[in-house]
Structure 1
């Protein structure tokens, strides 16, 4: 407290950090919106569960973005000149549950994919990941309730540090487990694949690293900021962006299927041409084997001329025989 009795608040690492975090969050939300638009335009015939998942993710992101925008407006406009009153963030506190729902949907999607891809008994890694993610979602709902009802951010940090640390650690662990499991499976398949198929698997490995490790690194960095800088709001600013990293990873994974299909089609032209040639030859031989024998048509053309020789009194007969070609499609006798 200063000599005049006013509370000194550093706006750079509090409201300033929150504003920068919101700007970056809105930017990532624009990417999420573009990804959703590309998905619905490209995969019109996709299954309804995927379409509903993308719609749910986007609607949750809209609510999460509105919550962050409201808090920045409240801090810079409503409470302008009174930073000492900025002790709670009710909208962002409710957004904790929204972010938990987004994280659960994304991690559940990748966990189910892991369960379908991996052979037994490794496929149960996916079941374990989605179970832990469900418990994490329940914990985020309780965390959101405590954040809404708390009297100050400092009290919230003091009482809920253990739960926040547990949830962030669990989220990072799930992301790393999913990414490492997919990388191990794809690397094993790559050693057994042809050279052309290996290039497609390399692309899958790159997508796995890009989508899985990005969210895990974000969760780890958020956890470090939360533990190392408890007296500012840098960790809260980073938290506004973490959920959008999960959404972007899911939509990027869905949209990358079209590019992977094109790569898999163009990476094996020789096999396709060989298949076409083999099929054409087999069909040609089959047509020859099943076709009935063509009859040989021989056409005899006979011309008779009869002329009366008045001087001799005899009859002259001339016969011309002209054979037709040996093979014809029509039959004439």
Structure 2
């Protein structure tokens, strides 16, 4: 606890310290997303233009988000140095971050909503709640940002609209849980139909659970700190990282496709070997016998008999996002 004659005591670690740590961790996550974006453009040059544009837009928004974070930190730590009341002030960068975070989340949520749409057999009824929640979160977050601009202080927002922040975070948590739950449900259903690819589908399910859990608990943590520790800035430091979670989850989903394809090809090849009997051993020195209805068996030396089998197998991928990295035999209509 730090005190000063110019103002009330301020808990430095839980205010300015929380902001600094949040900004540093968000910057690390932003660096990871930069690496993922560069890897994507290098490894997936044949992707449709719409996907490349989506990644480019998310990358740009993430960079702007990082700049806003450090601009806000500069306001608190440098621009308002020694002014204890600045802990309660809301610089213009914070409302912009509140708007930008769900905006980045739209791309992630719509990407997974499209996967669920395909896995569900293009069932719009199942996908519609996800899209509605996405729109609701953006609308409520924009309203909360407008209130922040208007009041300019966290304490006033707590009194005259604190529920907006809480409701935004609740919608985010519900959206993450719903998306992950539906994704795992439909992958489980396809796992039963395509037992030979269970390892691939298990990998997809594990990733769906992990990504949903990350963003879900992130939203819950920010909400609890906003409600229980509103006199600190811990909730702001945690909220800095939410957009980075969305960006990295989306890019990781895109960049994991090659690994999933390789596992699918390996699984299919193993199944093919079992069906064709590849891997059996034969005695190459034993003579080969032929029998005809009117003659006895005739032995032919093995060095005068050659049998060749040539097998060619090709795998073609078209619009991998529409296939959601599942087998071609799946009925998508």
Same fold (TM over 0.5): yes
Distance 1:201 1:88, change over 3 A: same
TM-score, with length taken from structure 2:
0.78
Distance 1:44 1:161, change over 3 A: same
Cross-structure match for 1:327: none
Query: Does 1:116 pair with 2:114?
Result: no
Select which of 96, 99, 104 maps to 1:102. 104
Do 1:115 and 1:124's aligned partners in 2 also have CA atoms closer than 8 Å?
no
Query: Does 1:202 pair with 2:202?
Result: yes
Cross-structure match for 2:288: none
- Aligned CA RMSD, in angstroms, stands at 2.3
CA distance in 2, matches of 1:281, 1:165: 65
CA distance in 2, matches of 1:150, 1:104: 27
Residues 142-153 of structure 1 aligned to structure 2 (within 5 Å): 142-153=143-154
Do 1:211 and 1:250's aligned partners in 2 also have CA atoms closer than 8 Å?
no
Residue 4 of structure 1 deviates from its aligned partner by 4.4
Distance 1:56 1:120, change over 3 A: closer
CA distance in 2, matches of 1:50, 1:281: 39
Cross-structure match for 1:300: none
Cross-structure match for 1:227: 227
Do 1:18 and 1:236's aligned partners in 2 also have CA atoms closer than 8 Å?
yes
Select which of 90, 93, 104 maps to 1:91. 93
Residues 247-266 of structure 1 aligned to structure 2 (within 5 Å): 247-266=247-266
CA distance in 2, matches of 1:208, 1:146: 35
Q: Which runs of 5+ in 1 are unaligned?
A: 284-333
Cross-structure match for 2:140: 139
Residue 26 of structure 1 deviates from its aligned partner by 0.2
Distance 1:8 1:268, change over 3 A: same
Do 1:112 and 1:127's aligned partners in 2 also have CA atoms closer than 8 Å?
no
CA distance in 2, matches of 1:174, 1:249: 14
Secondary structure of 1:7 counterpart: strand
Cross-structure match for 1:311: none
Residues 73-92 of structure 1 aligned to structure 2 (within 5 Å): 73-86=74-87, 87-92=89-94
Query: Does 1:245 pair with 2:245?
Result: yes
Do 1:39 and 1:254's aligned partners in 2 also have CA atoms closer than 8 Å?
yes
Do 1:35 and 1:255's aligned partners in 2 also have CA atoms closer than 8 Å?
yes
Do 1:94 and 1:148's aligned partners in 2 also have CA atoms closer than 8 Å?
no
The one-character-per-residue Cα deviations of 1:250-278 (angstroms, maximum 9, x if unpaired) are 0000001010001001112244456899x
Larger relative contact order (CA 8 Å, sep ≥ 6): 2
The one-character-per-residue Cα deviations of 1:285-316 (angstroms, maximum 9, x if unpaired) are xxxxxxxxxxxxxxxxxxxxxxxxxxxxxxxx
Cross-structure match for 2:60: 59
Q: Which runs of 5+ in 2 are unaligned?
A: 279-308, 313-333
Cross-structure match for 2:14: 13
Aligned length: 279
Residue 149 of structure 1 deviates from its aligned partner by 2.4
Distance 1:43 1:7, change over 3 A: same
Cross-structure match for 2:217: 217
Distance 1:15 1:266, change over 3 A: same
Structure 1 runs of 4+ aligned residues shifted over 3 Å read 2-5, 270-277, 280-283
Do 2:10 and 2:84's aligned partners in 1 also have CA atoms closer than 8 Å?
yes
Residue 281 of structure 1 deviates from its aligned partner by 7.3
Secondary structure of 1:44 counterpart: coil
